[in-house]
Amino acid sequence: MTKNPSPREPALGPASDLGLWLGGYRPEESTDNTDGTAILVPRRRPVQRRSRERFARILAAAREVLLESGIESFTFDAVARRADVPIGTLYQFFANKYALICELDRADSSAVTEEMRGFLEETPSAQWPRVVEELIDRMARLWRTDPSRRAVWHAVQSTPATRTTTMANQMPVVALVAHAVAPLSPGASDTERGRLAGFLIHAGISMLNLAVQNLPRDEDKFDDTVEETKRMLISYLFLVAQDG
């Protein structure tokens, strides 16, 4: 039996292994970890209405700045100016820019989870290709509505700590997809289905990020890329179903 590793093991070990996450592995939480041994979280979360409004303004401003400048040029100064709050307010909530970026990713993952939750309770049947197509259309609407998802996704790949955090943020989505594909792979273990779900999610997100790359000036390319995403993932799932 494989020993469940300590949360202090390096990110390139257990934190990058989806199978361990599916087995219950979860690192500690931290406000300022940098080596990937902990999940980045805010220093505190707002409780009072005015504080929640400031927090929401900070997140909205952070999306705009990240979309315009990328993670390399992303600074608290720029976010504070855009949100019209003192820079000290950002530090009340976040230890550094990576913790702030991870909060954006957490919000994006939560939105995807909620969009999928009811839909993916439908068990794949003889009509499962139609189910996949509709699901991809739903996800495409999220990306079209908010192209900053692409910038957030790329930003959280930038450090061990952000990669560990986004893995934790994605686990509810992985669990939903793994459950949905179970009838297509009855001979697979839970871990194998989880890894299959992880592949589907990462492939789908990568294609949607490509689709929104040139919006709003290239709507046709967006639509074409979404259709290619459907074709690619459905073809892959047909092979999964054949293998059982």
Q: What is the pLDDT of residues 167-197, one digit of tens each?
A: 999 999 988 888 888 888 888 888 888 889 9
Query: Rounded mean pLDDT of 72-94?
Result: 96
Q: Which pLDDT score, from 0 to 100, does residue 57 have?
A: 97
CA distances to 98, 147, 156 from 200, rounded to whole Å, are: 26, 20, 19
The pLDDT, as a whole number, for residue 10 is 34
Q: Which two tokens stand for residue 157?
A: 């790949």
Greater confidence (23 vs 46) lies with 46
Q: pLDDT of 97-126, one tens digit each? A: 999 999 999 999 999 998 888 776 655 555
Those residues whose C-beta lies under 8 Å from the C-beta of residue 140, and which sit 6 or more positions away, are 208, 211, 222, 226, 229
Question: What is this structure's pTM?
Answer: 0.86
What pLDDT digit, counting tens, does each position of 201-240 carry? 999 999 999 999 877 777 888 999 999 999 999 999 999 9
Model pLDDT, residue 75: 97
| Spans of all domains in the chain | 38-243
CATH number for the region 38-243 comes to 1.10.357.10
